Structures are given as structure tokens and as C-alpha cells.
């Protein structure tokens, strides 16, 4: 049997915590899409879809921790979401406030470290303080790292990195020709985190929508047909199983199965 075939056989094994063959991606990123459609299909207001989306988020954070995933990034509010009706923006900001107020103590108890990426300067002061508090309280935890992308857009993040480098060049501390992809990556919002191994998007849409464009260079993309409020541990495991069937070559010739 070829290496690739034997690797695929291994990758097809069911996920089972505690078994030797249990391998999960180190970093999973999720575009939590389809809250509105979930609600519309049930004749409910959109906010109900977002509320149930928060429940799906709780389930997913727990499952990710149980499965031994090290980093989970979630796209919870995009730079472009400001174009939604004011009432929906209020609902989403309210859910974030409630999520931090109600869930932070549990996340801390579960040894979760919270990180935030995105533009914080434009947010209301109370939200900025809540996000700072979440990071500060959990900074020494060494379990799952939960990265919340809030007021986040990847092009904006790359522009921020370019601006930070431009300031260094203008001050004479950096030569323009010393700027490499590696150096730019070190000026992104969370430069110490590994790139996502897999980006999962729910709802059947198949695009990145300005999420982690730099970091996604070699991420596997998994699109699942269910709406975010229906996402659960089984759906996460199925997405990981799909990821493990992929061969990653990072531009080279040697296949590496997802792990
Ligand atoms: C996409 O569904 C989802 C969002 C824009 C926001 C995601 C937010 C949550 C899961 C809840 C909030 C969580 C926190 C931590 C604040 P959509 O509204 O675009 O759905 P649609 O495409 O079906 O209309």
C-alpha cells in the first residue's frame, strides 16, 4: 500500500478521544454562518438565530477543548457587519456583552485562554473594557485558546500590519527592503498564533468573506451544509474527519495528511 493510501486509511478512522490514532488539527477556525436562515426557516426573528448561535458556540468551545484542539478562532462580527440594520447590530453587540458577562467565569474555570483580533478602537468603551477583561483574566490559562474575531476584517488587519511597518520605516528603524512575508506576519493582530489548519464555514456558502486571508494561505477549507445554530460536536468531528482526508503539500511534492 502506498504511503498516501495508508495515510488515508488512518485518516478515515473514527475520532475517539483517548485512542492512539486520535489526531486533531492544532488550529480550527470557523465562519459561523446561517443564523438568519435558520431563524427564517422557522418563522422566527433573526435575533433568535443569533441567540441559538451563541448556544452552538458554547457547545463548540466545549467540544474543541474535549477533542484536544489547541486554537479555535471564531468569526463573530465582521468589519462589514456594520452595514446591517441598526437593530441587528444592537442585538449582536448585546449578545457579545452577555456572552462575556455570563460565560467568562466558566471559560476561565475551563482553563480557556481568550484572545481578541480585530479593530478595537472603534468599539464602544464598555465593549472594549469587556474584551480587555476577558484577555486579562485568562492570560495565564494554558488550555484551549479561543480567538474571537470581533470587528474583524482580514484586509483591514493586513493594512494595520502594513501601517505598523510603515511607521518603523518612516522612523528610520527599518529598511523597506527588509520587509518579508515573515516580518509582515509578525505585525498582524496575533502574531504568535499558528495559521489555521482548517477553516470551517457553515450554511453551505463557499467563500472566505474577508476572514484570515493572510493566515489561510495553506488552510484546508471545509464547507458544511448545516446552519450555525445546528452545529454541534458531531458536526465538528465530521469536519475534522473531512480535513484528515485531505493531503497537505504546502506547495511542495510531499503529501502530509491533515493532523
Ligand atoms: C452569520 O449569520 C453570523 C453572524 C453575522 C454573527 C455570528 C454571531 C453569533 C454566532 C452569535 C454571537 C456570538 C458572539 C460571541 C457575539 P447570518 O446572520 O449572516 O446568517 P444568514 O447568512 O443566514 O443571514
If you write DSSP's letter for every residue of 95-153 in order, what string do you get? HHHHHHHHHHHHHHHTTPEEEEES--TTS-HHHHHHHHHHHHHTTT--S-EEEEEEEE-
> How confident is the model over 63-67, as a mean pLDDT?
97
- Give the pLDDT score at 257: 66
List the single range of 7-21, 124-138, 216-230 with lowest mean pLDDT: 7-21
**In CATH, which of 3.40.1180.10, 1.20.1070.10, 3.40.50.2300, 3.30.1180.10 is domain 4-8+23-244?**
3.40.1180.10
| Interatomic CA distance for residues 104 and 108, integer angstroms | 6
Model confidence at 109: pLDDT above 60: yes
**Cα of 210 to ligand 1 centre, how many Å?**
15
- Give the pLDDT score at 255: 81
| Interatomic CA distance for residues 87 and 93, integer angstroms | 10
> Residue 10's pLDDT band (boundaries 50, 70, 90)?
very low
Model confidence at 1: pLDDT above 60: no
Neighbour count for residue 142 (Cβ, 10 Å) = 9
Cell representation of residue 145: 485558546
Cell representation of residue 180: 518579508
Model confidence at 14: pLDDT above 90: no
Nearest residue (CA) to ligand 1, atom 8: 76
Tallying the residues shown for the chain, one arrives at 259
Q: Is 33 a catalytic residue?
A: yes
- Give the pLDDT score at 15: 52
Which of the listed residues 35, 56, 202 should we mutate to test ligand 1's pocket, taking the one with most ligand atoms within 8 A of CB?
Answer: 35
Model confidence at 16: pLDDT above 60: no
Ligand 1 shell residues, CB under 6 Å: 32-37, 50, 53-54, 57, 76, 81, 92, 95-96, 99, 203, 228
Average pLDDT of the chain? 92
pLDDT in tens, 153-167: 999 999 999 999 999
Active site residue: 3, 35, 66, 81, which one? 81
* Residue 93 · residue 127 · CB < 8 Å: yes
**Cα of 65 to ligand 1 centre, how many Å?**
22
pLDDT in tens, 204-246: 999 999 999 999 999 999 999 999 999 999 999 999 999 999 9
**Domain coordinates in residue numbering, the chain:** 4-8+23-244
| Interatomic CA distance for residues 217 and 205, integer angstroms | 19
| Interatomic CA distance for residues 35 and 23, integer angstroms | 30
pLDDT in tens, 38-57: 999 999 999 999 999 999 99
Q: Is 66 a catalytic residue?
A: no
- Give the pLDDT score at 259: 55
Q: Rounded to the nearest 5°, which phi and psi values hold at 122?
A: -85, 0
- Give the pLDDT score at 180: 98
3-state DSSP of 44-79: CCHHHHHHHHHHHHHHHHHHHHHHCCCEEEEEEEEH
Model confidence at 141: pLDDT above 70: yes
> Residue 5's pLDDT band (boundaries 50, 70, 90)?
very low
> Residue 8's pLDDT band (boundaries 50, 70, 90)?
very low
Q: Rounded to the nearest 5°, which phi and psi values hold at 18?
A: 90, -15
> Residue 135's pLDDT band (boundaries 50, 70, 90)?
very high
Which of the listed residues 32, 96, 201, 231 should we mutate to test ligand 1's pocket, taking the one with most ligand atoms within 8 A of CB?
Answer: 32
**Cα of 13 to ligand 1 centre, how many Å?**
32
Ligand 1: nearest atom to the Cα of 88: 18
Amino acid at each position: 500500500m502506498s504511503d498516501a493510501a495508508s495515510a488515508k486509511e488512518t485518516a478515515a478512522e473514527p475520532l475517539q478521544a483517548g485512542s492512539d490514532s486520535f489526531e486533531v488539527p492544532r488550529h480550527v477556525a470557523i465562519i459561523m454562518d446561517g443564523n438568519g436562515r435558520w431563524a427564517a426557516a422557522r418563522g422566527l426573528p433573526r435575533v433568535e438565530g443569533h441567540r441559538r448561535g451563541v448556544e452552538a458556540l458554547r457547545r463548540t468551545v466545549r467540544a474543541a477543548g474535549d477533542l484536544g484542539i489547541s486554537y479555535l478562532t471564531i468569526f463573530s462580527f465582521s468589519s462589514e457587519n456594520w452595514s446591517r440594520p441598526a437593530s441587528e447590530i444592537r442585538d449582536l453587540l448585546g449578545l457579545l456583552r452577555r456572552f462575556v458577562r455570563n460565560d467568562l467565569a466558566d471559560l476561565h474555570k475551563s482553563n480557556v485562554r481568550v484572545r481578541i483580533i480585530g479593530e478595537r478602537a472603534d468599539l464602544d468603551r464598555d465593549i472594549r473594557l469587556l474584551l480587555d477583561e476577558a484577555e486579562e483574566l485568562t492570560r495565564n490559562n494554558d488550555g484551549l485558546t479561543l480567538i474571537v474575531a470581533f470587528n474583524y476584517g482580514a484586509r483591514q488587519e493586513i493594512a494595520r500590519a502594513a501601517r505598523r511597518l510603515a511607521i518603523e520605516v518612516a522612523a528610520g528603524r527599518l529598511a523597506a527592503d527588509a520587509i518579508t512575508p515573515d516580518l509582515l506576519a509578525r505585525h498582524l493582530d496575533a502574531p504568535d498564533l499558528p495559521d489555521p489548519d482548517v477553516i470551517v464555514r457553515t450554511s453551505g456558502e463557499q467563500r472566505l468573506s474577508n476572514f484570515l486571508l493572510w493566515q489561510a494561505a495553506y488552510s484546508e477549507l471545509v464547507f458544511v451544509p448545516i446552519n450555525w445554530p445546528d452545529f454541534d460536536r458531531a458536526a465538528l468531528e465530521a469536519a475534522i474527519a473531512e480535513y484528515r482526508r485531505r493531503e497537505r503539500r504546502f506547495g511542495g511534492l510531499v503529501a502530509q495528511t491533515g493532523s
